[in-house]
């Protein structure tokens, strides 16, 4: 893991110059695109009003050559930049041959060998590569748009603050309870959880920039009941195959291949959804993956809900510990609806056991159960993983956490989970 992070640091440090090498072959699209993100509305009991969290990203896309042709050389950077400098006498041809081998060198580490043996399909999944090229484009946009936007809620325009230098817009709007009651509609027949859509577009009166086709972009705001059940779910290796323990597979499943679901997790979530549960997806993946992840959730019939991802930056800030980020986001969700009951679902690939146990200590009355999908693939790691779980959940009642491999063995009756 340490060697991978070191290579990733090098990649981030050199990414801007890397992009500059081929950006001249592209032109900027003349119309800006807006990616709005689904969020929660939060009730302010003091003011008796609702805070509407608007979050979106504006950018100019690249047009021109297919981007994966360029991105295919990125693994060479991750591998070669951390190696010792080659002798000055090395010929250009030899360097080229070395670069072609770098990807294999990059993944053929001891930590990946056992897993790689079991992943025979890694090189057989290229047929759908073009499907997710848009996910790649969002990491290599022409430039961000630093402009003023406006949101349209119930036919009323709300002028937003200018986006930051990376094109992000984030602002809270205040709506009365009467407005929310008229706007939001139930989406569970037997619950008071509601949602409504708002529109966002560039304020063309203040800019010469036009949004694509001069249209607005729609997004969902969730307005939840004070009492209810919420599922807080990780994404990578919890509901979507990412293989975070295998670096080559991680890159492939994130950027190159059609996203693939974890078997039977969608069916489990659908059964919980039928019992009026609301879903909150929390991941350390970058916001640029949101469009692809949203399509993934819809394609495999995962219940829709709020999606919280990290803001990606070509800097070392993106390497800040994911534990801190996820704890902050989940804490915000629970504090926004402190009377709701939460079920947390994650996996053993990164730090979900430690994250959820820490949150349980903060919110023992709110967190009813923790489910961890065990992704150990070798017999040697089973005992180590078991020791890890015992240590992580030492302050959590044994009745409140479950480690599983087969989602079909998870209790589907929410009432039974709550009385465990």
Q: Where are the domains of the chain?
A: 229-418
Sheet holding 278-286, edge to edge: 306-310, 278-286, 229-233, 341-347, 367-373, 401-404
Residue 314 is encoded by which pair of tokens?
A: 């070509």
pLDDT of residue 129: 47
Residue with tokens 């295998």: 246
pLDDT of residue 317: 52
- The pLDDT profile of the chain, 420 residues, written as one tens digit per residue, is 444 444 444 444 434 433 443 334 434 445 677 889 999 999 999 999 999 999 988 776 655 455 555 555 555 544 444 444 444 444 544 544 443 343 343 334 444 444 444 444 434 444 444 444 555 555 554 455 556 677 888 888 888 888 887 778 899 999 999 999 999 999 988 899 999 999 998 876 655 555 544 567 899 999 999 999 999 999 999 999 876 444 454 444 444 456 889 999 999 999 999 999 999 999 988 887 888 899 999 999 999 999 999 876 654 454 556 789 999 999 999 999 999 999 999 999 889 999 999 999 999 999 999 999 999 877 767 778 889 999 999 999 999 999 999 999 999 999 999 987
Residue with tokens 């065990």: 374
68 and 36 in contact (C-beta within 8 Å)?
no
Residue 54 is encoded by which pair of tokens?
A: 């608007």
407 and 268 in contact (C-beta within 8 Å)?
yes
State phi, psi for 400 to the nearest 5 degrees.
-105, 0
pLDDT of residue 84: 41
Cα 370 from Cα 342, distance rounded (Å): 9
Establish how many alpha carbons lie within 13 A of residue 269's alpha carbon, considering only the half-sphere containing its beta carbon. Answer: 30
- Smallest CA-to-CA distance from 151 within 51, 219, 223, 212 is with 219
The overall longest dimension of the chain from CA atoms, in Å, is 76
pLDDT of residue 388: 94
Architecture of domain 229-418: 3-Layer(aba) Sandwich (3.40)
Cα 36 from Cα 390, distance rounded (Å): 40
Residue 20 is encoded by which pair of tokens?
A: 């500059």
pLDDT of residue 1: 44
Write out the E strands in 29-79: 31-36, 39-44, 49-60, 62-63
When computed from its CA atoms, the radius of gyration of the chain, rounded to whole angstroms, is 23
pLDDT of residue 154: 82
């Amino acid at each position: 893991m340490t060697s991978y992070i070191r290579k990733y640091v090098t990649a981030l440090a050199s990414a801007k110059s890397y992009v500059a090498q081929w950006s001249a072959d592209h032109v900027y699209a003349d119309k800006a695109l807006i990616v709005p993100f689904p969020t929660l509305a939060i009730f302010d009991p003091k003011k008796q009003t609702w805070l509407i969290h608007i979050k979106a990203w504006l950018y100019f896309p690249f047009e021109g050559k297919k981007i994966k042709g360029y991105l295919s050389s990125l693994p060479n950077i991750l591998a070669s930049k951390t190696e010792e400098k080659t002798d000055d006498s090395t010929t250009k041809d030899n360097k080229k041959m070395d670069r072609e081998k770098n990807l294999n060198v990059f993944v053929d580490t001891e930590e990946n060998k056992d897993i790689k043996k079991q992943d025979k399909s890694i090189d057989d999944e290229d047929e759908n590569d073009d499907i997710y090229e848009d996910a790649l484009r969002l990491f290599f946009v022409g430039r961000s748009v630093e402009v003023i936007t406006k949101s349209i809620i119930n036919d009323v325009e709300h002028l937003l603050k200018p986006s930051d230098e990376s094109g992000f817009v984030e602002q809270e709007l205040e709506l009365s309870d009467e407005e929310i009651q008229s706007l939001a509609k139930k989406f569970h027949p037997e619950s008071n959880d509601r949602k409504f859509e708002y529109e966002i577009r560039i304020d063309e009166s203040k800019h010469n920039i036009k949004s694509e086709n001069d249209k607005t972009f729609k997004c969902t705001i969730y307005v939840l009941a004070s009492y209810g059940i919420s599922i807080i779910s990780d994404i990578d290796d919890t509901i979507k195959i990412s293989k975070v323990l295998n670096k080559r597979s991680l890159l492939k499943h994130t950027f190159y291949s059609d996203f693939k679901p974890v078997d039977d997790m969608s069916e489990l979530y659908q059964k919980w959804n039928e019992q009026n549960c609301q879903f909150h997806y929390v991941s350390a993946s970058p916001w640029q993956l949101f469009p692809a992840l949203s399509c993934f959730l819809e394609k495999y019939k995962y219940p829709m809900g709020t999606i919280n991802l990290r803001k990606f930056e070509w800097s070392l800030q993106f390497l800040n510990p994911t534990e801190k980020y996820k704890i902050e986001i989940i804490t915000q969700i629970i504090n926004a609806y402190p009377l709701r009951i939460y079920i947390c679902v994650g996996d053993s690939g990164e730090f979900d056991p430690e994250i959820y146990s820490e949150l349980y200590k903060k919110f023992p009355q709110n967190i009813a159960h923790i489910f961890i999908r065990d992704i150990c693939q070798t017999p040697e790691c089973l005992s180590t993983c078991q020791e890890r779980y015992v240590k992580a959940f030492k302050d959590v009642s044994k009745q409140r956490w479950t480690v599983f491999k087969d989602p079909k063995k998870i209790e589907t009756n929410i009432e039974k989970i709550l009385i465990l």
